[in-house]
Amino acid sequence: MIYSIRFLTLYRFMKTILISGGAGYLGTELTQSLLKKYNVIIYDSFNFPWIINNRKKIKNNNRLKFIKKDIQDVSIKDFNKVDYVCDLNGIPNDPASELNPKKTWDINYRSRYNFAKKAKDAKVERYIFNSTCSVFGHNKNTVFENSIKKPISTYAKANLKAEKKIYKLKDKNFKINILRNSTLFGFSNTMRLDLVINIYVYKLMQKKKIMIDGDGQQWRPFISVKDICGIYNYILQRENFPSFVCNLVAFNSTIKLLANRIVKTFGKNKNFIVYNKSNFDKRNYKVGSKNFKKLFKKFKFSNFSKEVRKLNVKIKFYKIRQNSKTIRMLYYKKLFA
């Protein structure tokens, strides 16, 4: 009886976090990470159902609740007793966003802005908006938070407009953190095999060659799913953290150097790398973050080789393959058909 009272008291005073898009690639892992210390509500349509189908396998699942709903149908009541929101919503990458640009603008900009407004009206304390370094598009020099933005895709343009408008909602009672993610990599139970590092590791596992668009000299920033989860935890544990915009990058690399690094990690030779010169990738940006150094002084990024080796092991173990479940463009192509 004493144990039950203590448990109920602890549960009552735990902060509650709503993760919109929480059933996706990042959301699935972030949910499991945050459940260690918080009550979590996943707000999602659950088109990728791993997390809702495997609830009993998840640690601390007694703290986990679901709202099966599209963000376009959000109401203030959905944020009842919610302390923090992690907004991971949206069509997730450049190719998928171009399948239906109007839909991308409706979801990634208009609906996400409306979602943030409803959260503010409901007296949510902190709103963490998941954005992208793709807003920089093509820049010759290293870019920082206040550098000129040159978005190329609909995905990047919609995210940039959303982050600007949402950031204006901030005040002393509604803290807003705009996190511009680099290209993600690493394992998730809701896996994606349309992200460059994940694709390259998968191809080598299949004993197939890595295909690089263009000459591979284009720069790109990268960060692991594990590190993003750590950064969210870092923010949420510091109630006095201010509102801010921050680029999140563990390292920068040209695509050519990245491919060579992955090939070397798995003991393969450079013959596994080929170039598609007819399909040149226009995106090119090397990212830095002045704000990260100020705000996350004690944060340590994970080891790259360790994360890609883990990715390799997990893909094999779960027998993950490229299909409409793991390639978002194929999924949205079906959805928009």
- Integer distance in angstroms from the first to the last C-alpha of the chain? 56
Residue among 34, 86, 39, 33 nearest 66 (CA): 39
Q: Is the residue at 98 inside a domain? A: yes
Residue among 77, 73, 155, 141 nearest 111 (CA): 73
Q: What is the DSSP letter of 81?
A: T
Tokens of 38: 């918080």
Say how many C-beta atoms besides its own lie within 10 A of residue 222's C-beta: 23
Q: Is the residue at 258 inside a domain? A: no
Please give the distance of CA 336 from its chain centroid, rounded to a whole number. Answer: 22
Q: Is the residue at 197 inside a domain? A: no
How many structural domains does the chain have? Answer: 1
Bridge partners (DSSP) listed for residue 65: 41
Backbone angles phi, psi at 66, to 5 degrees: -125, 140
Q: Is the residue at 321 inside a domain? A: no
Q: Is the residue at 91 inside a domain? A: yes
Q: Is the residue at 215 inside a domain? A: no
Domain of 101, in residue numbers: 2-186+222-251+282-303
The CATH number of whichever domain residue 151 belongs to comes to 3.40.50.720
Q: What is the pLDDT along the chain (337 residues), one digit of tens a residue?
A: 444 555 554 455 799 999 999 999 999 999 999 999 999 999 999 999 999 999 999 999 999 999 999 999 999 999 999 999 999 999 999 999 999 999 999 999 999 999 999 999 999 999 999 999 999 998 889 999 999 999 999 999 999 999 999 999 999 999 999 999 999 999 999 999 999 999 999 999 999 999 999 999 999 999 999 999 999 999 999 999 999 999 999 999 999 999 999 999 999 998 999 999 888 888 899 999 999 999 999 899 999 999 999 999 999 999 999 999 999 999 999 988 7
Token pair 């799913």 is found at 225
